[in-house]
Amino acid sequence: MSRQAADIRISLKHSGGKTYRIELIRQPFRRRFWIRRDGRKLKKMPEATETEIAEAIRKWLVAEQDKPLVLEQTLLDFSGSRVN
């Protein structure tokens, strides 16, 4: 059996060079999509609606944007103790 062609393709490129290819395949008779990332089915979210997909991408983008701040918070503060 051949693999279904994606109805929607999204490429997300991380500033460090990593690129994720997200493919959405519309399910027949439903308002949901099967999801593949880099050609593989997702285990955590194998299917979702457009709203759920947009929310997941938004959360990922916000988390990626906040990563430098999280790393800065784990650095030692002036007193030499670790800041959480």
Tell me if 21 is assigned to some domain: yes
- What pLDDT, on a 0 to 100 scale, did the predictor assign at position 15? 72
Tell me if 2 is assigned to some domain: no
Give the separation between CA 72 and CA 84, rounded to whole angstroms. Answer: 10
Total domain count, the chain: 1
Tell me if 36 is assigned to some domain: yes
Tell me if 22 is assigned to some domain: yes
Mean pLDDT, the chain, as a whole number? 78
List the domain range (segments joined by +) for residue 25: 8-73
Q: pLDDT per residue over 45-63, tens digit each?
A: 899 999 999 998 888 888 8
Tell me if 83 is assigned to some domain: no
Give the separation between CA 17 and CA 32, rounded to whole angstroms. Answer: 30
